[in-house]
């Protein structure tokens, strides 16, 4: 592993949960989200689309505003005061992410535009150099398009083969079948931690153990897991972990790729440009150290700062209190929706987080979405960027209500009442 | 803006959405086209049988929301017997009504039963649901090789 560049890269350990075992005061939490005071069509906003993007607490909005108001300058090259402050803020955010994921070192945190770019980075640099003719990449039937298409692209480029591990009708990954699909040609397994359509939580540790025993690396798409689960990349044993800031109360346009230092070191750069170099001449360029080797061009500095503030916010809530709260609302939602006549829940795995996908007899999800919208209820309707998964389930679309720290049982009640009006409008 | 849901989900739309007319495959079709709305997964196949430039028969198959199904169903009932040129002209007028509303220069009343689609304009996220069948019609008549996408 290469020595770190600045002392700011020292890891920022995640503080112990402030509210360990404590109850999450959801009304107080809601006060921190100014957008929840919006009234679409004059109705109180019931935001049940957090799996698409979460809303942002005031602390995140303020942190970004403060960065632009007081610290803004380009990083890593200015000799002046502001550049130093901006660099410090940017690297402090990296250290927070390192702590959030329990990375061994903050230099293992690569900032990207989001999960999608993080996966593309691994596909083009790691897979792009390790895959040979006839090699295989294994994904699962419940992946988001962003954990399918980059692999299709690199498999095409390298003459490799993309294989798909099956799921049950309830939406659980069939790990025994996955195990059988991992052979000597399997170079990489790419799997989502939490399904954005089903809410299923996949047994990552089990998958990494199986894959590693057969010499395959594992990438985990953590976009839907990061806002809900306590993530420890070392305990998960994976080789790459990708997440998006905007799904975990941070801003859009910032995401993270984590990988162990030695693995990142051996990978070629992703994009060429400024900041990713140590020296450039027309004959030869020497690349910068990790993580900078992968961060060509001026990064989304304020975005990283906002993500750091989002991690502070999550730490302040406390993981246990947050998990208990979200579990309560999810369980309440499952029960309440199950009692709606003609409603069918899609995705009924026992290990499940914060997503309620459903169908309503005789009503298309898109129509459900439009009627609910007029009642101030924001849900998602469609294929959720997981068309192969919906095809596997024999569906074209689902309606999806998804939860976050600010979701309440009352939100579920309004949703269920709204479904009555859906039936009425479309009778 | 507080548009009444009733403007969108008019009774005729609900009826055609639930019980689409001219639904099924059409034997002897001279023109077919596929339409797809990637946003919501709505999909339809349109079959047209042209004879002497006139639409002798027309049918569709597919799956989608109430608006897309009703629009396709209403379209088939409106087009039967029409000349190809008339059908394309109607495409233009319906498209203007759906995408531009009152600014499109089309008085819904002139469009007969299709006037029930005039409320869709006020729901921007749903306009593509209603235009899908019509784009597919144009593709079928102009024999475009590629499937139509509303994106």
Let me know if A385 is a catalytic residue. Answer: yes
pLDDT digits (tens, 9 = 90+) for B36-89: 988 777 899 999 999 999 999 999 999 999 999 999 999 999 999 999 999 999
The residue among A16 and A186 whose pLDDT is bigger is A186
Helices (H) and strands (E) in chain B, counts: 5, 4
Over range A169-192, report the average pLDDT. 98
Domain boundary among A315, A348, A381: A315
Kindly report whether the peptide bond that precedes residue A291 is cis, defined as omega within 30 degrees of 0: yes
The burial of B19, by beta-carbon neighbours within 10 Å (0-12 exposed, 13-18 middle, 19 or more buried), is given as exposed
Residues of chain A positioned with their CB less than 8 A from the CB of B1: 41
> By the CB < 8 Å criterion, does B23 face chain A?
no
Band the pLDDT of B147: cuts 50, 70, 90. Answer: low
* Per-residue pLDDT, B146: 61
pLDDT digits (tens, 9 = 90+) for A260-305: 999 999 999 999 998 898 999 999 999 999 999 999 999 999 999 9
CB nearest B66 (choices: A364, A382, A383): A364
Residue A304 sits in a domain whose CATH number is 3.40.640.10
> By the CB < 8 Å criterion, does A364 face chain B?
yes
Same-domain status, A182 and A273: yes
Domain ranges for chain B, please list them.
5-142
DSSP state of B53: T
Same-domain status, A88 and A176: yes
CB nearest B40 (choices: A362, A371, A382): A382
Same-domain status, A115 and A182: yes
Task: Give the CA dihedral B73, B77, B81, B84, nearest 10 degrees.
Answer: -40
Helix (H, G, I), strand (E, B) or coil at B133: helix
Q: What is the CA radius of gyration of chain B?
A: 14
Top CATH class of B5-142 equals alpha beta
Query: Do A172 and A348 touch, CB atoms closer than 8 A?
Result: no
Same-domain status, A145 and A281: yes
- Please count the structural domains in chain A: 2
- B63 vs A371: CB contact, 8 Å cut-off? no
Could you tell me the two tokens for B126? 């749903």
Q: What is the CA radius of gyration of chain A?
A: 22
Query: Do A291 and A264 touch, CB atoms closer than 8 A?
Result: yes
Q: Which of A81, A87, A70, A121 is nearest to A7 (CA)?
A: A87
Band the pLDDT of A7: cuts 50, 70, 90. Answer: very low
Q: Which of A201-205, B115-119, B140-144 is the most confident on average?
A: A201-205
Over range A403-411, report the average pLDDT. 98
Q: Which domain holds residue A389?
A: 37-47+318-425
- pLDDT > 50? residue B1: no
Over range A59-78, report the average pLDDT. 95
Domain boundary among A315, A336, A362: A315
Residue A327 sits in a domain whose CATH number is 3.90.1150.10
Same-domain status, A366 and A288: no
pLDDT digits (tens, 9 = 90+) for B4-22: 888 899 999 999 999 999 9
The burial of A127, by beta-carbon neighbours within 10 Å (0-12 exposed, 13-18 middle, 19 or more buried), is given as buried
Helix (H, G, I), strand (E, B) or coil at A256: strand
> By the CB < 8 Å criterion, does B129 face chain A?
yes
Task: Give the CA dihedral B116, B119, B120, B123, nearest 10 degrees.
Answer: -160
- pLDDT > 90? residue A245: yes
Is A360 among the domain residues?
A: yes
> By the CB < 8 Å criterion, does B2 face chain A?
yes
Kindly provide the b/e burial profile for residues A220-250, where b requires at least 16 CB atoms within 10 angstroms of the residue's own CB. Answer: bbbbbbbbbbebebeebbbbbbbbbbbbbbb
Same-domain status, A148 and A251: yes
Same-domain status, A361 and A232: no
Same-domain status, A286 and A405: no
* Per-residue pLDDT, B121: 93
Whole-model pTM: value is 0.92
Of A155, A238, A385, A405, the catalytic one is A385
Is A86 among the domain residues?
A: yes
- pLDDT > 60? residue A358: yes
Output phi, psi for A23, to 5 deg.
-85, 140
Residues of chain B positioned with their CB less than 8 A from the CB of A420: none
* Residue B33 CA: distances (Å) to CA of A147, B20, B22, B132: 31, 18, 16, 11
- A397 vs B1: CB contact, 8 Å cut-off? no
CB nearest A366 (choices: B2, B3, B40): B40
ipTM of this complex prediction, to 2 decimal places:
0.89
Same-domain status, A243 and A156: yes
């Amino acid at each position: 592993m290469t020595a770190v560049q600045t002392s700011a890269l020292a890891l920022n350990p995640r503080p112990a949960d402030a509210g360990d075992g404590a109850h999450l005061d959801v009304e107080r939490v809601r006060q921190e989200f100014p957008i929840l005071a919006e009234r679409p069509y004059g109705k109180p906003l019931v935001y049940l689309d957090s799996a698409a993007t979460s809303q942002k607490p005031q602390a995140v909005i303020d942190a970004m505003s403060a960065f632009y108001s007081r610290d803004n300058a380009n990083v890593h090259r200015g000799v002046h005061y502001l550049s130093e402050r901006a660099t410090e803020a940017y690297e402090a955010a990296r250290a927070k992410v390192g702590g959030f994921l329990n990375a061994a070192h903050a230099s293992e945190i690569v900032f990207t535009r989001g999960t999608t770019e993080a996966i593309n980075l691994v596909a083009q640099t790691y897979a792009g150099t390790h895959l040979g003719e006839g090699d295989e990449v294994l994904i699962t039937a419940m992946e988001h398009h962003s954990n399918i298409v980059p692999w299709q692209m690199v498999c095409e480029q390298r003459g490799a083969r993309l294989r798909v591990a099956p799921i049950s009708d309830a939406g659980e990954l069939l790990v025994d079948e996955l195990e059988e699909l991992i052979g000597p040609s399997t170079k990489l397994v790419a799997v989502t931690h939490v399904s954005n359509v089903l809410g299923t939580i996949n047994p990552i540790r089990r998958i990494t153990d199986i894959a590693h025993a057969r010499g395959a690396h594992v990438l985990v798409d953590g976009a839907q897991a990061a806002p809900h689960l306590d993530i420890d990349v070392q305990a998960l044993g994976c080789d790459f972990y990708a997440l998006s800031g905007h799904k975990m109360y941070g801003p859009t346009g910032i995401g993270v790729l984590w990988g162990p230092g030695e693995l990142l070191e051996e990978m070629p750069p992703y994009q060429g440009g400024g900041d990713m170099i140590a020296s450039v001449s027309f004959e030869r360029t020497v690349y910068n150290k990790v993580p900078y080797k992968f961060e060509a061009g001026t990064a989304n500095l304020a975005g990283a700062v906002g993500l750091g503030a989002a991690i502070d916010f999550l730490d302040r809530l406390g993981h246990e209190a947050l998990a208990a709260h979200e579990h309560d609302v999810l369980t309440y939602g499952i029960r309440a929706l199950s009692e709606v006549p003609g409603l069918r829940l899609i995705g009924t795995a026992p290990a499940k987080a914060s997503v309620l996908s459903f169908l309503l007899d005789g009503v298309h999800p898109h129509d459900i979405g439009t009627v609910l919208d007029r009642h101030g209820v924001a849900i998602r309707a469609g294929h959720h960027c997981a068309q192969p998964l919906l095809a596997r389930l024999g569906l074209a679309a689902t309606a999806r209500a998804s939860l976050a720290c600010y979701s309440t049982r009352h939100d579920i009640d309004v949703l269920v009442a709204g479904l009555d009006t859906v039936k009425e409008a479309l009778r | 803006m507080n548009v009444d849901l009733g403007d969108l989900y008019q009774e005729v739309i609900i009826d055609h959405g639930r019980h689409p007319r001219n639904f099924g495959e059409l034997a002897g079709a001279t023109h077919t086209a596929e339409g797809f709305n990637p946003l919501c997964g709505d999909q339809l196949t349109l079959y047209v049988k042209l004879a002497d430039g006139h639409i002798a028969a027309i049918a569709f198959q597919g799956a989608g929301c109430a608006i897309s199904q009703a629009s396709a169903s209403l379209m088939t009932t409106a087009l039967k017997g029409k000349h190809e040129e008339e059908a394309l002209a109607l495409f233009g007028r319906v498209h203007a009504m759906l995408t531009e509303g009152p600014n499109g220069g089309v008085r819904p009343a002139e469009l007969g039963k299709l006037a029930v689609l005039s409320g869709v304009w006020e729901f921007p996220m749903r306009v593509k649901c209603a235009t899908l069948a019509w784009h597919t019609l144009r593709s079928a008549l102009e024999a475009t090789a590629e499937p139509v996408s509303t994106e």
